[in-house]
Amino acid sequence: MRKISSCKEYFDTVHERFVPEQAQGVNATFLYELEGEGGGTWTVKIADGQLSVEPGTVPEPTVTYKIKAKDYVDLANGDLNGAKAFLMRKLKVGGSIQMAQKMNKFLPPASN
């Protein structure tokens, strides 16, 4: 899996990292609020092994992530551990923590 250089590139290519076999039976909406330069808001929906992504927000997402755009690039590239980012308060997670943890199985970070 290739590394990305921007948040936009991540969401433009998120289908390449999606592992549909790991998302069977999952029906969830993930809202990403990425702050600072290169940031923005994106919504990723997973429904029965299918992924869709669109810019913007949705009401009542299953999980909301708030993080600086540059930190999200590091997270997506596997250079920043999600649990560590959460503990360091770089990453704020709202909604279902259990689903947030499960997401790494069907949308894994790039491996180093």
107: DSSP letter: S
> CA–CA separation, 91 vs 101, rounded Å?
13
* Residue type at 43 in one-letter notation: T
Single out the residue of 47, 54, 52, 53 nearest to residue 23, CA to CA.
47
Looking at residue 41, its pLDDT comes to: 98
Tens of pLDDT, residue by residue over 36-92, are 999 999 999 999 889 999 999 999 999 999 999 999 999 999 999 988 999 999 999
Q: Please, what are the domains in the chain?
A: 7-105 (3.30.1050.10)
Tens of pLDDT, residue by residue over 9-32, are 999 999 999 999 999 999 999 999
Which residues have CB under 8 Å from 83's CB, separation 6+? none
Looking at residue 2, its pLDDT comes to: 80
Looking at residue 48, its pLDDT comes to: 83
pLDDT at 112 over 60: no
Looking at residue 104, its pLDDT comes to: 87
Looking at residue 46, its pLDDT comes to: 97
> CA–CA separation, 48 vs 70, rounded Å?
31
Buried b (16+ CB within 10 A) or exposed e, 51-79: bebeeeeeeebbbbbebbbbbbbbbbbee
Looking at residue 110, its pLDDT comes to: 82
